[in-house]
Structures are given as structure tokens and as C-alpha cells.
Amino acid sequence: MPAMPSVVVAMAVLAAIPIAAAEQRQAYAEPVGTCDGYPRLDIGMAEGFCAGLVIGPTAGDKRRELLLPRSLLQLDDATWLLTDLGGWGTTRGAVWKLRSRPGEPAGLTRLLGGLNLPHALANGPDGLVYVGEMSRIFRFDPHASDPARTVETVVAGLPDNRLHENRHPLSKFVFAPDGALLVNIGAPSDQCLDKAGEPLGKTCPEADGGDHAASIRRYAVLGPGRWSADYTVHAKGLRNSVAMAVHRSGTMLQGENSYDFSARWLPFDEINVIEAGRHYGWPYCADVAAATPGWKSARAMACGSDAHASPALLLPPHAAPLDMLWYDGTMFPRLEGKLLMTWHGYRSIGGRIAAFATDASGVPIAEKGARYPVYGGRPRAYGIGPASNAQILTPGWDRVAGKRPQGSPVGLAVARDGAIWTTDDRAGLVIRIAVDRP
């Protein structure tokens, strides 16, 4: 009997895996018309933009081939890699090869399986692809006849952030200008408080203990394709640095997923300029200079002092930034040099892709009187601190019965042709944003 193609085997495996109820959502309406050659999704876009479906379920075809797609990396004009978490707290994660051309059905091949929460993807300086999996960063050759045999661990010993024991388990990394690997270590909890809402000590043991959580670790480069097994703490006081990016000027930015206060409109998420040795406030400070309620009495940090590196820009509360990059494509000249960011949050702020004007260092420019958008309500003022009126590329990605769920964008990538690719993990979609033409 002839062997089945790998994609067929993979689809059979996925078909047997139930998707958790929390990940099952209203389907997108069946596309009508095309967006630059791809089926046009019913997402309200900014003028001149449209959203095309690359792959994923709709009301007309509910087959879900990707469970929780996250990050994207282009290999050639028609070939992409993408990570799939597979499910929280499981080892169903995978790295897929996606073949896609306008007017043709997309094709998937699973290159790697059995992974534990794979999220980040990046091209390495050695021409290999690097993947951030829970507890490690590894590299592999996607062009090999058997990619799984080329997997090699690059950084080991990252915290084993088991779901529900650790709230921020994903491994995100970037390459520093000097070649070092900078790796996110998420905070194990929301605010470093006990069950009674009291501080866990005079200072937070989660941040100042052995794992140095809520930080960015630096693994120094030892030579071509080699990094130190030991690390230094590059920056601390960062609750969850899933969105990180390094500008061509050398500036490093971080998008902070801030605290889950019970207040709907507080605290603000943040964009931080990361500098070695600085403390960005978690769990003692929020916003520009406010002490967090649980730690205010402990006075562990003077939030208005230079001890606290305040944000370069405030983001809307609960926006949940998960990826960002500077647009360098040719399809949208009006976006040239702007910082693009996905807002994954499930509240009325999330479900957006935002663009910010930046200075020569890639840092977003603050504006007076800035306001942020709210689905179902009027734009709201920030009121304090540096903020900006973001250009929203997806102003109509809210939930509309019979048309779409609220968007849950995660990964971002600029294709060789200048189109913007993103994933919607909760809906299992890969989406291509292009100039608005059939």
C-alpha cells in the first residue's frame, strides 16, 4: 500500500483532536469576491486595504486544519512557515509549511510535530530557522529531506511554564545587533500576590528569585551559530514580552501585556524602549508612575523615580500586543517605516492591527490629546502619559453575528510583495492584507 502524503497523515491526526470549547468560535462568513486574488473576508478594513483568506474555516467550509496558528516566516514567493501551538498545556504543537498562490487552494505539510507551545519564528544568522518552544529555543533546516532530523537545541533550560502554574509560558526571542539572543521570560503570575492579595515578600520573589522571571535574558554569542549556556538579565520588570522587535537603528522595543486589574479601563498596556540594566516596573508600578494597588504599601519601588523606566508610549488597556514590526514593503507606501502591531485582546479594544508613525530610531511618536478606539463605544482619552492616535488597519474586526467573530490577530509578517500577513489563532486562520483590488 503506498504511503500517504504527509499532509494527509497530518490532517487525519488533527481531525481526531478535539478543539477546546474556549477555542471554538463563530465562523467567519463564507467569503464573497476576492482580495488581490484571495477570497475576501468580511472584515471592515481601512480605505485602500482588504483582507484575503489564505487558509482556515468559514461558514461555507468548516474544516479546521490549523489549531492555534501563531507566527509566520516567508521562505520564498509561495512558501511560508508557521507555528501552531496545538493547544494550551499539550505537546500537540507543530511547525507547518504552507504553500499559497492567488486563486489556488493552499497546501499544508507538517514539518515538525510533538512540540510544546511553539510560538516564535525567525531566520538565524546561519541560514537556519529558529523556533521558540516552551523551555528551549531550537533551530532546524526546513529545506532538508527530513527536517526533524536537523533539529538542534540552541538555548536550553528556560522555565518549564506549565499552564495554570505559570500564566505566561511562551518563549519569544530576538537577535540583538551584536548577535546575542534576547529571550522573554514571562511573569509566573499577574501581580506577584498571594491568595489574599498581599505581596509575596518585601520584594517579588518571582522576579528576584532564581528564574529571574518577568525579564529579558541575554545569551551572549560565542561564535558563528553558538551562544553561551549562561545568561545575564538584560532588563527586568516586564510582565510578558511576547511582542519584541529590533529596529535597523539598533533600538529594541517591547510591547507589554500589562496587569489584569478588575477595572475595565486600567491599567494601560505599553511600548517600552529596552535598555540594558533597566527595571520596567512589574509588579510594583503601572502606567507612567502609578504604584500598583497590591504593592503600594510595600514601597518596593519609587514609581516616579529613575528606578522605574517609564513607557515610551501607552497602549489601550487590555490591547494585548502579541507581535510588531516596522513596515518595509512596497505595496503600501503610506505605511513605510511605521510600526505595525497586533492587538489580540478579547475585550472591546482587541481585534485590531495598528500602525504608529515613528522617529528615525523606530520609536512611536507621541501626540497630544491622543485617544484609542473602542468597539461599541466612542474613542477614549488616555489622560496621562505619552500616547498616540494609532492608524487602525482593521477598524471593523469586531464580532458581528452571522458575519465574523472578533478578530484575534497574533503573528505579523511583511511578504516580499509588500502584503501584510497575519494569523487569527482562535479562529484558525491565516490572512493576507493587500491593496484593495479584486
| Cα distance between residue 283 and residue 410, in whole Å | 25
Exposure b/e, 61-79, CB count within 10 A at least 16 = b? eeebbbbbbbbbbbeeeeb
pTM score, whole prediction: 0.93
- Contact (CB, 8 A) for 243 and 264: no
Q: For residue 331, with 0-12 CB atoms within 10 Å meaning exposed, 13-18 middle and 19 or more buried, which class applies?
A: middle
3-state secondary structure of 208: helix
In order of 5, 81, 101, 112, 232, the CA distances from 77 in angstroms are 23, 12, 9, 22, 39
User: Looking at the domain assignment, is residue 386 inside a domain?
Assistant: yes
Supply 28's cell numbers. 467567519
Supply 384's cell numbers. 496621562
User: Looking at the domain assignment, is residue 141 inside a domain?
Assistant: no
| Cα distance between residue 222 and residue 179, in whole Å | 9
pLDDT at 207 (0 to 100) = 87
| Cα distance between residue 431 and residue 419, in whole Å | 10
* Other residues' Cβ atoms within 10 Å of the Cβ of residue 401: 7
E strand or H helix that includes residue 11: helix 6-15
- Contact (CB, 8 A) for 151 and 145: no
pLDDT at 162 (0 to 100) = 63
User: Looking at the domain assignment, is residue 291 inside a domain?
Assistant: no
33: left (phi over 0), alpha (psi -120 to 50) or beta: left
User: Looking at the domain assignment, is residue 161 inside a domain?
Assistant: no
Each residue's pLDDT, cut to its tens digit, for the chain (438 residues) gives 333 333 333 333 333 333 444 345 689 999 999 999 999 999 999 999 999 999 999 999 999 999 999 999 999 999 999 999 999 878 999 999 999 999 999 999 999 999 999 999 999 999 999 999 999 999 999 999 999 999 999 999 998 766 545 578 898 999 999 999 999 999 999 999 999 999 999 999 998 877 789 999 999 999 999 999 999 999 999 999 999 999 999 999 999 999 999 888 999 999 999 999 999 999 999 999 999 999 999 999 999 999 999 999 999 999 999 999 999 999 999 999 999 999 999 999 999 999 999 999 999 999 999 999 999 999 999 988 999 999 999 999 999 999 999 999 999 999 999 999 999 999 999 999 999 999
Question: What residue type is 91 in one-letter code?
Answer: T
Q: Looking at residue 349, what DSSP letter applies?
A: T
Question: What residue type is 204 in one-letter code?
Answer: C
Helix, strand, coil tally for the chain in percent (to 5): 5, 35, 60
| Cα distance between residue 132 and residue 116, in whole Å | 10
For the CA atoms of 311, 316, 322, 323, the dihedral, rounded to the nearest 10 degrees, stands at -70
Number of domains in the chain: 1
pLDDT at 166 (0 to 100) = 59
Q: Which of 368, 370, 360 is nearest to 390 (CA)?
A: 370
User: Looking at the domain assignment, is residue 110 inside a domain?
Assistant: no
User: Looking at the domain assignment, is residue 152 inside a domain?
Assistant: no
User: Looking at the domain assignment, is residue 220 inside a domain?
Assistant: no
pLDDT at 10 (0 to 100) = 38
pLDDT at 190 (0 to 100) = 94
* Other residues' Cβ atoms within 10 Å of the Cβ of residue 294: 20
User: Looking at the domain assignment, is residue 309 inside a domain?
Assistant: no
Containing structural domain, residue 411: 33-63+335-438
